[in-house]
Structure formats: structure tokens, C-alpha cells
């Protein structure tokens, strides 16, 4: 989807206040699941003295730092910068749209949970997959931004948790 399509999308959503409210609510709730469960999972692993804690913390941390560096390198504009409209979710921020940090953070946390608790990994993967179109509908990302966030987060998390770092628990 190109930037010139976003004003019409925002207008259509604003004509349906319940749908616009649902997009705003999902935009807040979906990342909240990952951001709440992640520290709880880390504390649980710490209390259990589970050696997987190192990988559970290290992999998302590395992916987050690398993802932030990629965002800064691309310095990609957000859709509302290219087409003059008010997004459903007020960002107050410009550029650094690619890849979506919300989506890659939620995705790498999902991958970390696949490593320690597959049912929660599945739940958080579904949450990240739902978050991606919500960020587009909210008007703050292009589809390529959220797709890259999913690939970067899930791919980086999967590589770090299941393929690389063989000497870590």
C-alpha cells in the first residue's frame, strides 16, 4: 500500500467509530501482552534457576539493538509524513518506520517464549501477527514495515534461540 491510500483509509475508519476504537484498543493491548509476559517469564526462569534465562534475555536484547540500528540506518519516513493525514494512533514521531519496532519486539519475545514455553510462544506469535495489520490500519506503518518486523523478530529470535549460540543453555 502506498502513502496516497492512507488518507482514504483513515477517513473510512473514522466514519466507523467502533472500528477505529477497536484498532486503537488492539494497538495498545496486543503489544502489552508481550511486554507484560516477558519480564514475568524472566522472573519465573530466575526463580526456577533455569539456565535458559541467559538465552531468554540475551536473544531479544540483541535483536532489539540490531533492529534499532536497522531503523536508524534506513531512516524510513512514516506514511503520515508522505501523505498529509492524522493517523488513528498519534505517534508524534517521524522517520524510523522500517522495520516496525512494536512488531519486531513482540515477535522476538514470542520466539523467546517458544524456547521456554511453547503454548505462550504460540499465543504471543498470534498476538504479533495480529499487531502487524493493526499498526498499518492505525496509519503509522507501511505493510513492508510490519512484514519486515515479523521476519526480523521471529527470524532473529528463532535463530538465536534454536540455531545459534550452541554452548548456551
Q: Write out the three cell numbers for 145.
A: 514495515
Band the pLDDT of 51: cuts 50, 70, 90: very high
CB atoms within 10 A of CB 117: 18
- What is the pTM assigned to this prediction? 0.92
Question: For the residues 54-80, what does the mean pLDDT come to?
Answer: 95
For residues 60, 65, 68, 70, the Cα torsion angle rounded to the nearest 10 degrees is -100
What pLDDT, on a 0 to 100 scale, did the predictor assign at position 90?
Answer: 81
Percent helix, percent strand, percent coil in the chain, to nearest 5: 75, 0, 25
Helices 101-116 and 143-158, axial angle in degrees (round to 10): 30
Question: For the residues 119-143, what does the mean pLDDT come to?
Answer: 97
81: Cβ–Cβ under 8 A, 6 or more apart, which residues?
Answer: 94, 95
Amino acid at each position: 500500500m502506498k502513502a496516497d491510500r492512507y488518507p482514504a483509509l483513515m477517513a473510512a475508519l473514522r466514519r466507523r467509530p467502533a472500528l477505529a476504537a477497536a484498532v486503537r484498543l488492539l494497538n495498545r493491548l496486543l503489544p502489552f501482552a508481550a511486554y507484560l509476559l516477558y519480564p514475568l517469564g524472566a522472573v519465573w526462569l530466575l526463580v526456577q534457576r533455569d539456565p535458559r534465562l541467559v538465552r531468554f534475555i540475551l536473544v531479544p536484547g540483541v535483536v532489539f539493538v540490531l533492529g534499532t540500528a536497522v531503523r536508524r540506518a534506513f531512516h524510513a519516513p512514516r506514511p503520515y509524513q508522505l501523505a498529509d493525514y492524522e493517523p488513528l494512533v498519534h505517534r508524534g514521531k517521524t522517520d524510523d518506520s522500517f522495520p516496525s519496532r512494536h512488531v519486531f519486539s513482540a515477535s522476538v519475545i514470542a520466539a523467546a517464549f517458544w524456547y521456554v514455553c511453547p503454548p505462550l510462544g504460540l499465543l504471543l506469535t498470534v498476538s504479533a501477527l495480529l499487531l502487524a495489520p493493526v499498526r498499518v490500519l492505525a496509519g503509522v506503518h507501511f505493510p513492508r514495515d510490519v512484514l519486515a518486523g515479523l521476519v526480523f523478530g521471529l527470524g532473529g529470535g528463532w535463530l538465536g534461540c534454536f540455531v545459534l549460540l550452541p554452548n548456551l543453555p
